[in-house]
Amino acid sequence: MKVTNLNNTKPMALSDLLVGNFGSLVNDFFGEELNKINDVAFRPAIEVTEQDHGYTAVVALPGIKKEDITISLENSILKVSGERLSSKEENSDKVHFSEFRYGKFERSITLPKNAETEKVDARFEDGLLTINILKKEDAKPKQIEIK
């Protein structure tokens, strides 16, 4: 059984055509050996945004329970770690193909100097871990009154 990605966009140049087909050429040539090499652990995606009042980091953790996540903060480094467990142990089905990734993970974010490391809160909802970090009072933008 083979899974193919469908791409409806047409290449703009010869280089796009070569790059676009390279993955399938390598996969066809190496077959199962490539799948073993690509069998990497789970690495959650992170999005960090800045607002006037602080920073927000959102970590995508689908299929993970809140109890299996650890958040720590040391020397201005925010670490999110945990483990995404495979459901294969509970299921006797034979898996033909899977792009799911499992295993222990740790993601680190170095906070800027204006981050208030004493004022951090976290929420976990619908597979998204949202971490809010306030800015120090002197770092927030202020309106200056004209006299």
Beta bridge partners of 107: 80
Q: Give CATH 2.60.40.790 domain extents, the chain.
A: 41-139
Q: Which tokens in the block code for residue 94?
A: 């034979």
Q: pLDDT confidence of 3, banded at 50, 70, 90?
A: very low
C-alpha span between 89 and 66 (Å, rounded): 21
pLDDT of residue 138: 76
Q: Is the pLDDT of residue 132 over 80?
A: yes
For domain 41-139, say whether CATH 3.40.50.300 is its number: no
* Pair type for strands 115-125 and 103-110: unpaired
Nearest to 103 by CA among 42, 144, 21: 42
Q: Which residue has the higher pLDDT, 93 or 133?
A: 133
- pTM of the complete model: 0.65
What are the C-alpha distances in Å from 145 to residues 127, 142?
44, 10
Nearest Cα to Cα of residue 132 among 42, 59, 70 = 59
